[in-house]
Amino acid sequence: MKRQAKVIFAVSLLLIDVAMVVLAFFLAYELRLRIPWRMPAQNIGPFRDYAGMMAIYALAMITVFFFYRLYHRQRALSLIEEASSIFGAVSVGTIISIALTSFFFRDSVVELGYPWTMVMYSWLLTLFLVAVGRFAHSRIQRALQARGWGEDRLLIVGVNDVGQMIWQKVRYSPSLGYRVVGFISDSNGGSNGSNDETNNHTAAVDVPVLGKIEDIPRVIEEQDVSEVIVALPEASRDRIMTIISLCERGRVGIKVYPDVFQIMASQVSIGDLSGLPLLTVRDVALRGWRLTLKRAMDIVVSAVALVVLSPFMLLVALLIKLDSPGPVFYAQERMGLDAKPFWCLKFRSMRQDAEAETGPVWAKKDDPRRTRLGAFLRRFSIEELPQLINVLVGDMSLVGPRPERPVFVEQFKRSIPRYMDRHREKAGITGWAQVNGLRGDTSITERTKYDVWYIENWSLWLDIKILIRTIFMAFTDRNAY
């Protein structure tokens, strides 16, 4: 049934793409007929004269889609990334179809006015219709998978914080099409692998521990496992290779959660010191035109957002005053660029003097210190909006590692590798770790890995993607409290 479901999903997606491409071509013809451009409508022939060109157009598009791997299932692909891939594939497909049409229909191109008047219509309509068709197909597929039809059975190796984080991701995203059948305990730990913190089989999840590393082949066969995720970021390479070898016996898909070095290795460069070869792994700071470009986006977006959101922020301020005694804003010292402190602004969401008895502590789920309105503000991250002022004055950036309080920074920098590398760039209102679910009471070690990856792989497009995902996550994030 599982294999049949995958075939059905793939074939149905192909048919939808073909239908959308053909429909786009037909609508382009109709638009050209009704909105003529540089050619009177009476000179346009019947649609059957364009049938051959339509076939070439559809064939070119579908072929390019294959080369762009748009029919290879990628669960982690966001809507933004898929839209970017569709834009590139449709653009290339349009160019190829024009070349093929000009070759096979060279005598008809001038007479029928194709592609010079229809190409723009076809390109724009194909972009829109293919995106709509794929979005609808994705919604239907995910709804079916969430109900168990065509789902993949997933085995997680590692009953530790990382393994439980992966389980939570799958649990809160049933549309991924995964069902976790159980965990594998890394019982050796120590020098041979990760120190499995919950080998007593009392993990805070309702999924069983099915065995140890050596039991992997048996578990894969008994549980009909489709995919294995190795969640042992601190395990030795030999240990990981052993696990992969055991998984390969069952012919399953294998994914490995990366360790710290794999996260940072993208920016490793080879240099020399008077002939002595050295690896440079810390040259990660934004400089030059990239820094200027990022700052320009911060100024423009924060200024526009403050103007647009000012009526809403004024309403929030009024509600805070009516809801509980105390100031509207709450300023808290945080560590920013180069570990320099600054005052981070927020709407007050907790009662006044909330830490008078406890001292500096993290917020937790159902935190009793929250005000009635504060619970709502924190649920949708509305209390973060005043940080746009921090961005405008230059203390923060729109996107970057989230700033921590000095007391916590002092703790983390002693125990977490490369933690202080987060401070080589400005802190952000949102970040790569946050849009991947690492906020609230989640692992600081994992957040640091995501933050360092972001710094080493920065691009303007990555910032834009993170901002868009942040907007959508404001309504769905379960770790916002």
Residues 295 and 179 reside in one and the same domain: no
Residue 192 sits at the vertex; the CA angle it makes with 189 and 194, to the nearest 5 degrees, is 40
Alpha-helix residue ranges (DSSP H) falling in 380-431? 387-393, 406-415
Amino acid at 140: I
Residues 192 and 138 reside in one and the same domain: no
pLDDT in tens, 318-357: 999 898 888 899 898 999 888 899 999 999 988 877 766 6
Asked if residue 433 belongs to a domain, the reply is yes
Residue 476 has pLDDT above 90, yes or no: no
Residues 211 and 168 reside in one and the same domain: yes
What is residue 388's predicted lDDT score, i.e. its pLDDT?
95
Residues 140 and 179 reside in one and the same domain: no
Asked if residue 263 belongs to a domain, the reply is no
Residues 36 and 82 reside in one and the same domain: yes
For residue 14, what are the domain limits? 2-146
Are 217 and 250 in contact by the 8 Å Cβ rule? The answer is yes
What's the predicted TM-score (pTM) here?
Answer: 0.57
Asked if residue 277 belongs to a domain, the reply is no
Residues 160 and 28 reside in one and the same domain: no
Residues 206 and 127 reside in one and the same domain: no
Q: Is 281 helix (H, G, I), strand (E, B) or coil?
A: coil
d(CA 375, CA 353): 17
**Beta carbons within 8 Å of 438's beta carbon, 6+ residues apart:** 446, 447, 450, 479
Residues 249 and 299 reside in one and the same domain: no
Residues 96 and 185 reside in one and the same domain: no
Residues 140 and 173 reside in one and the same domain: no
d(CA 220, CA 247): 8
Asked if residue 302 belongs to a domain, the reply is yes
State the pLDDT confidence band at 447, using cuts at 50, 70 and 90: confident
Residue at a domain's end among 100, 124, 146: 146
Residues 76 and 191 reside in one and the same domain: no
d(CA 414, CA 426): 21
Number of domains in the chain: 3
Residues 120 and 100 reside in one and the same domain: yes
Mean pLDDT of the chain: 80
Asked if residue 106 belongs to a domain, the reply is yes
Residue at a domain's end among 146, 164, 185: 146
Asked if residue 262 belongs to a domain, the reply is no
